[in-house]
Amino acid sequence: MNSNIVLIGFMGCGKSSIGRRLSKRLAHEFLDSDDLIIARAQGTSISDLFATEGEERFRERESAELRKLLEARNIVLATGGGSILREENRSLLHRIGKIVWLHADPETLFERASRNRKRPLLNVENPRSTFNALLESRIPIYKATADIQIDATGLPQEQTVDEIVRVLAIGGIPKAAPKAS
Ligand code: S3P
């Protein structure tokens, strides 16, 4: 059985740190798509890749790394926050494993996402308004892509891992039915 887990979610939601802990708990290998991209680019940082090649080329690199993971087994994969933007990636992620959307309230996300300058999309004149616009446009995509969603607001990391393990074991919280129009 494929027991891979894929973590999606906005910048700052904790995909990498939670993913690392979750991988230990499950005795899985931990992979981070940003790190795979950096390694393939001989150590060039994400910010430098954005600056020299542009976002579109970065997205190509992201898709290329995901394609390589189709045969992977027993992994926890932390994805970049924008990996769900391409339809191709969404389908790849479903084929790779069970998709967990790690969410938190906007204040927590913004505080964590803007702690360092490693996130080129927020390295702009008005990061808060860019953050708001990106978050708003992406939430529906995370929601539609995820098999399960976990709200990590205020939860210590180990408890977030507990919650993922608990929810996965019971097959996930069903998504809310679409509102009748
Ligand atoms: C991005 C998120 C980043 C990284 C790149 C683009 C995005 O990853 O892939 O800066 O579009 O949201 P994290 O979500 O790990 O910060």
> Relative to the CA of 47, which ligand 1 atom is closest?
10
Q: What percentage of the chain's residues is helix, strand, coil (to nearest 5)? A: 55, 10, 35
Residues 45-104: tens digit of each pLDDT = 999 999 999 999 999 999 999 999 999 999 999 999 999 999 999 999 999 999 999 999
Determine how many CB atoms are found less than 10 A away from the CB of residue 27: 7
Pocket perturbation via mutation, ligand 1, pick of 121, 134, 136 by most ligand atoms within 8 A of CB:
121
Reported as a single tens digit per residue, the pLDDT across 18-33 is 999 999 999 999 999 9
Task: Check: CB of residue 142 under 8 Å from CB of residue 101.
Answer: yes
Task: Provide residues with CB under 6 Å of ligand 1.
Answer: 11, 15, 34, 46, 80-82, 119-121
pLDDT, tens digit (0-9, with 9 covering 90-100), for 115-159: 888 899 999 999 999 999 999 999 999 999 999 999 999 999 999
* pLDDT tens digits along 99-120: 999 999 999 999 999 988 889 9
Q: 109 near 135, Cβ under 8 Å?
A: yes
Atom of ligand 1 at shortest distance to CA of 118?
Answer: 10
Residue 115, SS3? coil
Domains of the chain: 5-169 (3.40.50.300)
